């Protein structure tokens, strides 16, 4: 169980660091002058050699998270963070915007000024905070994460370059290491809410309980997620906030997804797939990502998506997208 071996390599003894800090004279007599921290460090030599050799970024990630766990001022990357200034979508849709504006104008709106461009910018910001550790053993953690994915019509000056869609996804996660499942290195469960923060016909949201697991291999990382949607009413009146915004979203998003990140030197290739397993009306999605270093801190990023559920507003619309940009953090 590689993840367990990796984390069990944490030095058993705490290393106490007492250091004199250069502080403003005004705080000469305060507690800020001297800070004592206890940090559990990862000894790289105790990590399995194939992981050290083939997945050095994963080792560095665990070291960073262990050090950050004791600092309440630190936010950590959660999912990949990226900015794509240039993407091309094959089927932009302004149908829902036209529907909303027509309803608000008593049918007088003709829809002539809301056409979305094929080209837009897309970015994702995803962070997490470690709330507690050791709830289910030494290497377990309770974490809060937040992911924001935005679709920005940055070059569409005809309609004042609006944010076409923004998806907000807060979640509460409990992670632990299974001691008796050698093929899984990390398992967890989360309470997940996803919404686009809109109103009336534009509103989309759902709540899920998600179970997930990770398996570390010699050259990559498998990640599995299955979810159960928390039931809502079957009514779907878009102008009633108590009703279900998207009662059929499971038909398009399916019950889960599987992802694999393959590491080739400094290049990371990630494939993510999901399917609704309905052979009569089969729907799913495939996402391909390639990241590579362009500087010490930044990675080039190439993105391809094909299928349903790229964003909440388009969950039931087939979409294909090509994108180029910069990645700030990856799974590894």
* Nearest Cα residue to 261 out of 80, 124, 91: 80
- Last residue of a domain, which of 48, 68, 88? 68
- What pLDDT, on a 0 to 100 scale, did the predictor assign at position 200? 74
Q: What region, left, alpha or beta, does residue 324 occupy, with left being phi > 0 and alpha being psi -120 to 50 degrees?
A: beta
Statement to judge: residues 57 and 106 lie in one domain: no
Statement to judge: residues 39 and 138 lie in one domain: no
Statement to judge: residues 136 and 87 lie in one domain: yes
The residue that leads in pLDDT, 72 or 322, is: 322
Confidence category of residue 261, pLDDT binned at 50, 70, 90 = very high
Write out the residue range of the structural domain in which residue 222 sits.
Answer: 76-329
Mean pLDDT of the chain: 82
- What pLDDT, on a 0 to 100 scale, did the predictor assign at position 62? 72
Domain count within the chain: 2
- What pLDDT, on a 0 to 100 scale, did the predictor assign at position 35? 44
DSSP symbol at 298: -
Q: Which segment of 97-101, 203-207, 326-330 scores lowest on mean pLDDT?
A: 97-101
Question: For residue 157, what are the CA distances in angstroms to 69, 84, 117, 163, 294?
Answer: 45, 19, 10, 12, 31
Question: For residue 90, what are the CA distances in angstroms to 17, 47, 227?
Answer: 55, 46, 29
Statement to judge: residues 13 and 95 lie in one domain: no
User: Is 131 a residue whose pLDDT tops 50?
Assistant: yes
Statement to judge: residues 233 and 84 lie in one domain: yes
Statement to judge: residues 89 and 39 lie in one domain: no
Confidence category of residue 97, pLDDT binned at 50, 70, 90 = low
Statement to judge: residues 146 and 288 lie in one domain: yes
- Last residue of a domain, which of 14, 34, 68? 68
Statement to judge: residues 117 and 140 lie in one domain: yes
Q: Which segment of 174-183, 194-203, 215-224, 259-268 scores lowest on mean pLDDT?
A: 174-183
Tell me, rounded to whole angstroms, the distance of Cα 34 from its chain centroid. Answer: 37
Query: Which residues are the active-site residues?
Result: 193, 195
- What pLDDT, on a 0 to 100 scale, did the predictor assign at position 25? 56
- What pLDDT, on a 0 to 100 scale, did the predictor assign at position 4? 41
The pTM assigned to this predicted structure is: 0.81
Statement to judge: residues 143 and 11 lie in one domain: no
- What pLDDT, on a 0 to 100 scale, did the predictor assign at position 10? 37
DSSP symbol at 31: G
- What pLDDT, on a 0 to 100 scale, did the predictor assign at position 44? 62
Statement to judge: residues 97 and 37 lie in one domain: no
Give the separation between CA 77 and CA 33, rounded to whole angstroms.
Answer: 30
Statement to judge: residues 139 and 260 lie in one domain: yes
pLDDT above 90 as % of the chain: 52
Give the separation between CA 234 and CA 237, rounded to whole angstroms.
Answer: 10
The CATH number that applies at residue 206 is 2.40.230.10
- Span 103-122, pLDDT tens digits: 555 555 455 556 899 999 99
- What pLDDT, on a 0 to 100 scale, did the predictor assign at position 66? 72
The residue that leads in pLDDT, 19 or 176, is: 176
- Span 154-190, pLDDT tens digits: 999 998 999 999 999 999 999 998 876 667 888 999 9
DSSP symbol at 151: E
- Last residue of a domain, which of 68, 89, 119? 68
- What pLDDT, on a 0 to 100 scale, did the predictor assign at position 8? 42
Statement to judge: residues 121 and 229 lie in one domain: yes
Give the separation between CA 54 and CA 50, rounded to whole angstroms.
Answer: 6
Confidence category of residue 89, pLDDT binned at 50, 70, 90 = very high
């Amino acid at each position: 169980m590689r993840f367990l071996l990796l984390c069990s390599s944490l030095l058993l003894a705490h290393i106490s660091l007492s250091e004199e800090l250069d502080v403003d004279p005004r705080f000469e007599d305060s507690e800020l002058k001297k800070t004592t921290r206890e940090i559990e460090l990862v000894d790289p030599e105790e990590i399995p050699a194939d992981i050290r050799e083939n997945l050095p970024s994963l080792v560095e990630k665990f070291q960073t998270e262990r050090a950050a766990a004791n600092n309440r001022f630190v936010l950590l990357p959660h999912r990949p963070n990226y900015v794509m200034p240039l993407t091309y979508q094959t089927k932009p849709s302004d149908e829902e915007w036209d529907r909303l504006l027509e309803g608000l104008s008593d049918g007088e709106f003709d829809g002539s000024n809301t056409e979305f461009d094929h080209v837009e910018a897309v970015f994702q910001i995803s962070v997490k905070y470690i709330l507690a550790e050791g709830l289910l053993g030494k290497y377990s953690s309770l974490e809060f994460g937040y992911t924001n994915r935005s679709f920005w019509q940055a070059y569409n000056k005809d309609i004042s370059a609006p944010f076409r869609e923004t998806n907000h996804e807060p979640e509460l996660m409990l992670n632990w290491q299974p001691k008796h499942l050698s093929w899984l290195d990390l398992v967890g469960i989360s309470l997940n809410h996803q919404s686009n923060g809109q109103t009336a016909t534009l509103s989309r949201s759902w709540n899920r309980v998600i179970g997930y697991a990770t398996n570390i291999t010699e050259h990559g990382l498998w990640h599995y997620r299955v979810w159960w949607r928390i039931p809502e009413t079957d009514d779907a009146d878009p102008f009633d906030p108590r009703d279900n915004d998207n009662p059929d979203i499971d038909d398009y998003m399916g019950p889960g997804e599987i992802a694999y990140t393959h590491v080739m030197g400094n290049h990371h290739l990630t494939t993510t797939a999901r399917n609704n397993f309905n052979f009569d009306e089969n729907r799913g999605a495939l996402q391909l990502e390639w990241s590579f270093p362009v500087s010490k801190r930044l990675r080039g990023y190439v993105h391809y998506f094909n299928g349903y559920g790229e964003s909440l507003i388009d969950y039931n619309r087939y979409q294909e997208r090509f994108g180029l940009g910069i990645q700030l953090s990856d799974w590894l």
